[in-house]
Amino acid sequence: MTTLAILNPANGQLITTLPADDTGTVAAKAAAARAAQPAWAAVPLAQRKTCIEKFRAGVVRDLESLATTMTRETGKPIRMSRNELNGLLGRIDFFLIQTDLVLATETVFDDSGMKEQIQHIPLGLVANISAWNYPWFVGCNVIVPALLTGNAVLYKPSEYAAMTGLEITRLLHEAGVPRDVMACLVGAGEVGSALLAQKIDGVFFTGSVATGRRIAQAVGGRFIKLQLELGGKDPTYVADDADPKAAAESLADGAMYNIGQSCCSVERIYVHEKIHDAFVAAFVDTVRTFKTGDPMSEDTYIGAITRAPQLDVLDAQVADARAKGAILLAGGARNPGPGHWYQPTVLANVDHTMELMREESFGPIIGIQKVSSDAQAVQLMNDTAYGLTAGVYTPDEARARAVLSQVNAGSAYWNCCDRVSPRLPWSGHGDSGVGLTLSTYGIETFTRPKAWHLRRA
Ligand code: NAD
């Protein structure tokens, strides 16, 4: 039997060994899901909503054990695991309220002879291939609206969050979603690859640019819906009229929360020269208060790095930046094991010749660059292949809007960062991907419009 070993990144110990899927079980689950989907789509929406309400209640009931599972397998500090689960509840509520509106058939023309309507029907069988960094968020951003709109879901959680993936699936089954309608596939990339080989009607992927490219190539000629939520190199500009201390405290959290392993982590900071030194001093002071430790401890802010290979990426970015003249102000190295640990790291005197300012870090390291004008900040913020989020700190809304309207990003932040709202579309440009989740658009995306031309005889 194929298996998947689950290791705790905080201590390197084996947590469990899970039975994993192979090409045979993937094909069987796909065939069963396809067969089961029409009956699920025929279930009245009110009943599908009842299942999701029960799922929500299950999350609330089991929240502490679900948080512990997530923390053990990802290294995420326990308080942040609870935050993710509590944040999920608001997302579920949004989907529950909005799906009726999105699915309502629209009459767009009606006269004595002719009626025209748009009906929103499910895509059919959708694949959700997911990341580990916010496994409840990125999993449920797809699974919940896809199920509510009448789709069957084949869900391949990350191999670094497979226990959480199985918990999501268990709670949905307990809540009444038929087993064949919602199936979990356990395994690494080859299981994802086997899933893509099935007859599916849509692929919803969250993960790295490199895997996103592979997936786009794998399904390219099949004309099925493809959504890719990929990485970012999210910039923030701190203007000269900003409060340097308040901006530094907010942005240090935006850069280091979840050990910097967020798609919308602040990855680059540009600070106006007039307040640069005050900002940098306050930023380093804030970072020094971040406590590294056992992810299960209540006061831990910096937990373990989830994937060991990322340590090499962080080391290489720090070494490259220092070799090119960056000044190291905090951290800059791994902490000793067992487990995978990296010190919160701050580098100043950086520029765009450095990998640190161009490639996703996905860890607790940040470069802060001095700029002399809004125009220079815009030019540097746009000097990237990514386009997920961008922010400006200034008391002047018009100034922030003027800067952010020139920046290529799916989400624009004024005096905030590292923020996702269920009410707003979550999307990226360029290498940050295609398509979107969340908002009413992120419900509609699991449907296709059917046009009805109705002539009265
Ligand atoms: P990853 O690309 O390594 O893996 C993502 C998923 O793809 C996993 O489930 C993996 O098993 C699967 N996979 C790997 N190879 C595959 C293949 N050939 N075919 C099919 N599936 C395959 O990414 P990760 O390390 O899990 O996630 C980190 C990345 O995700 C970061 O770049 C981060 O920015 C990005 N991310 C983006 C968003 C967003 O909303 N834009 C949200 C979270 C994470």
Catalytic residue among 51, 140, 184, 263: 263
Tokens coding 100: 């009726």
What pTM did the predictor assign? 0.97
Does pLDDT of 149 surpass 90?
yes
Q: Which residues pair with 28 in a beta bridge?
A: none
Residues 230-255 as b or e (16 or more Cβ within 10 Å = b): bbbbbbbbbbbebbbbebbbbbbbbb
What is the amino acid identity at position 231? Answer: G
Q: Is the peptide bond before 338 cis (omega within 30 degrees of 0)?
A: yes
Q: How far is the CA of 208 from the centre of ligand 1 (A)?
A: 4
Work out the percent of the chain whose per-residue pLDDT is above 70: 100
Q: How far is the CA of 455 from the centre of ligand 1 (A)?
A: 48
- Which of residues 1 and 270 earns the better pLDDT score? 270
Does pLDDT of 360 surpass 90?
yes
Q: Write the pLDDT tens digit of every residue in 317-328.
A: 999 999 999 999
Tokens coding 297: 């401890």
CB distance 403 to 378 below 8 Å: yes
Q: Write the pLDDT tens digit of every residue in 200-220.
A: 999 999 999 999 999 999 999
Q: Which atom of ligand 1 is nearest to the CA of 432?
A: 41
Average of per-residue pLDDT across 186-195: 98
Q: Which residues pair with 455 in a beta bridge?
A: 114
- Residue carrying the six token digits 């200034």: 394
Q: Is 436 in the pocket of ligand 1 (CB under 6 A)?
A: no
CATH 3.40.309.10 fits 235-414, yes or no: yes
Q: Write the pLDDT tens digit of every residue in 391-442.
A: 999 999 999 999 999 999 999 999 999 999 999 999 999 999 999 999 999 9
Average of per-residue pLDDT across 354-367: 98
Every domain of the chain and the residues it spans:
3-231+430-455, 235-414
Rounded-to-integer distance, Cα 292 and Cα 162, Å: 25
Does pLDDT of 329 surpass 90?
yes
Q: Active-site residue 229, yes or no?
A: yes
Q: How far is the CA of 276 from the centre of ligand 1 (A)?
A: 35
Does pLDDT of 457 surpass 90?
no
Name which residue sits closest to atom 40 of ligand 1, judged by CA.
229
Rounded-to-integer distance, Cα 345 and Cα 368, Å: 11
Domains 3-231+430-455 and 235-414 fall in the same CATH topology: no
Rounded-to-integer distance, Cα 138 and Cα 374, Å: 34
Q: Write the pLDDT tens digit of every residue in 53-77.
A: 999 999 999 999 999 999 999 999 9
Residue 133 CB-density burial (10 A; 0-12 exposed, 13-18 middle, 19+ buried):
buried
pLDDT at residue 364 in the model: 98
Q: How far is the CA of 243 from the centre of ligand 1 (A)?
A: 36
Which helix (H) or strand (E) element contains residue 225?
strand 225-229
- The pLDDT mean for the chain works out to 98
Architecture per CATH, 3-231+430-455: 3-Layer(aba) Sandwich (3.40)
Counting Cα atoms < 13 Å in the Cβ hemisphere of 377 gives: 30
The strand pair at 14-19 and 106-110 is best described as unpaired
Name which residue sits closest to atom 16 of ligand 1, judged by CA.
189
Does pLDDT of 1 surpass 90?
no
Confidence of residue 231 (pLDDT cuts 50, 70, 90): very high
Q: Which atom of ligand 1 is nearest to the CA of 131?
A: 26
For residue 126, what are the CA distances in angstroms to 7, 33, 140, 278? 29, 9, 13, 50
Name which residue sits closest to atom 21 of ligand 1, judged by CA.
192
pLDDT at residue 328 in the model: 98
CB distance 55 to 47 below 8 Å: no
Confidence of residue 184 (pLDDT cuts 50, 70, 90): very high
Q: Is 235 in the pocket of ligand 1 (CB under 6 A)?
A: no
For the chain, the farthest-separated pair of C-alpha atoms sits apart, in whole angstroms, at: 79
Q: Is 437 in the pocket of ligand 1 (CB under 6 A)?
A: no
pLDDT at residue 91 in the model: 98
Q: Active-site residue 359, yes or no?
A: no
